[in-house]
A = this chain, B = another copy of it.
Amino acid sequence: MMESEDDLDSLLRTIVDLNHACAILEWDQETYIPDGAHESRASQLASLRAVAHAYATSERFANALNRAEESTDPSDDRRTRLLRVARRDYTKATALSTDLVSRLALAEARSKDAWRRARENDDFDSFAPHLNLLIELNREKADALGHDGERYDALLDQFEEGLVTSTVDGVFGPLRDELVPMIQAIDDASQLDDSVIRGDFDEAKQWALSKEIAAAVGYDFQRGRLDKSAHPFSTAFSIFDVRITTRVDRHFFSPAFYGTLHEVGHALYEQGIDPSLDGTPLADGTSLGMHESQSRLWENLVGRSLPFVTWLMPTLQRHFAGTFDGVDPERFYRAANRVEPSLIRVEADEVTYNLHIMIRFELEKALIAGDLSIEDLPEAWNEMYERYLGIRPESNADGVLQDIHWAMGAFGYFPTYTLGNIMSAQIFDAAKADLPELETNIRSGNFEPLLTWLRSTIHRYGRSRTATEILEEVTGVGIRSSNWLDYIRRKYGELYSTSL
């Protein structure tokens, strides 16, 4: 029996639904799962992922995709874009043998466990063999995915379509050369006082504020929810169910507040995808970099701006009776933008953050290329922190062991964080050009014009346009760090009364 072309859509929906089921199981794993259930959940996820992979690489799917490609009119832009993405996913899924996929899954599961213990005990040596194996497997994966001689390219392309090592080198090198002296200049200036956001902030009140702010900037709680988790994240089970999590630090205001705003940025992107794409592989962020551009835009370019903080103050005063009385917005603004070289990436300020990324990029590139051995890694890490940030980790727990990414087998992922930062400034500048009232809007708590603009220029497309296409359409150029550098120079030059 000859199956109809429609079969492709129903197969795609099944694959999408299976992947979303995995995301639901993972969300539960980070929020509500009982302590004793972690092992059984791991098995359930492994089964579900294997089933999703079997569907995504099945002959039935391949045939349906082939038939759809042959029968689709190239002028049918919508269908053509869907088929392009479906083909890309199929190619990636089939490139990896079932054997390699299961060796990777096993190594990653063991490595995550080993990493948790190693970090707790500050014991890099116990983690080293796991990391070694994952690097070998990622080389094998890179070769299976295919590349033009530079293995790291294949790893980058998993997260940021079309991105190659030379492009990252070309962006990161000059950026680093600008950043290092800027941070030195800030370090020499007199430090900002952040005491207003340090103290004792009732957890329930922080929570209520986070929810109110999320709704105020446009996060739709009818299609989402906010929960607590150890590590904040955003996840989507469909365009109609985009959830965020955050954590609350009783003594520091930023983690819950700016953490929520960051995740809201991710979630606004997913909630803004054209609903007609739901149930297809197009209903997703187009790349990790573009995703990060949205979270950083709301967290930093909006949330850490003076107009935003000016609007925020009465709300803060209402939620924390007494605590913020008489605090002028300028004081809060300075506190929220204090720059200080530190060891931990996730706690880094806007200016130093990208140096944390660059260090990881240099190191993982060298590891994959075989130019750096595992034994030399901790020292290389510490040496780079000293060179770029002027501080040296006293333990591997606060050094090379701090991030889960490598333990998860994610190589080529880190650079997308900095690309996201850079793009966020490019995109925000384009928004300002299109929306002359933007600052005024933000100062009055009217976020709707910005959100509408982001939806129409970026969000709605999902994966039907690549990050490069979107960025070029929005900014007229490709990725470049000058907008971000200009923004940093202006903002922090003023904050620190120094020329950057």
A residues touching B (Cβ–Cβ < 8 Å)? 13-14, 17-18, 20-21, 24-25, 28, 32-37, 39-41, 43-44, 47-48, 50-51, 55, 220-225, 227, 237-241, 243, 278-279
Contacts and interface: CB of A to CB of B under 8 A. Distances in A.
- A20, A34, A41, A48: residue with the most chain B Cβ atoms closer than 10 Å: A34
Contact of A224 (B17, B25, B34, B50): B34
Contacts of A24: 24-25, 28, 44
Contact of A36 (B17, B34, B48, B220): B220
Contacts of A47: 13-14, 17-18, 21
Given A34-B224, A222-B34, A241 B41 contact: yes
Nearest to A13: B47
A305 to B, nearest CB: 29
Nearest 8 Cβ contacts at the A-B interface: A17-B47, A37-B241, A40-B238, A36-B223, A36-B222, A17-B44, A37-B240, A40-B240
Contact of A43 (B13, B41, B224, B243): B13
Contacts of A20: 44
Tally of this chain's copies: 2
A21 B225 CA distance: 21
Given A18-B48, A34-B240, 6 more contacts: A17-B43, A17-B47, A17-B48, A21-B25, A40-B278, A51-B55
25 contacts: A17-B43, A17-B47, A18-B47, A18-B51, A20-B44, A24-B28, A24-B44, A32-B225, A33-B241, A34-B222, A34-B223, A34-B224, A34-B240, A36-B240, A36-B241, A37-B237, A37-B240, A37-B241, A39-B240, A40-B237, A40-B238, A40-B278, A41-B237, A44-B237, A51-B51
- Chain A interface, >50% SS class: helix
A20 B28 CA distance: 13
Contacts of A21: 21, 25, 44, 47-48
A34 B221 CA distance: 7
Contacts of A44: 17, 20-21, 24, 237-238
Nearest to A28: B24
Nearest to A227: B32
A307 B239 CA distance: 53
Contacts of A239: 40
A36 B237 CA distance: 12
B279 A37 contact: no
A8 to B, nearest CB: 15
A37 B24 CA distance: 13
A353 B383 CA distance: 75
A30 to B, nearest CB: 13
Nearest to A52: B51
Contacts of A55: 51
Contacts of A220: 36
A47 B44 CA distance: 16
Contacts of A50: 14
Nearest to A31: B32
Given A28-B28, A44-B21, A55-B51, A223 B37 contact: yes
Nearest to A224: B34
Contacts of A222: 34-36
A275 to B, nearest CB: 10
Contacts of A37: 223, 237-238, 240-241
A480 to B, nearest CB: 38
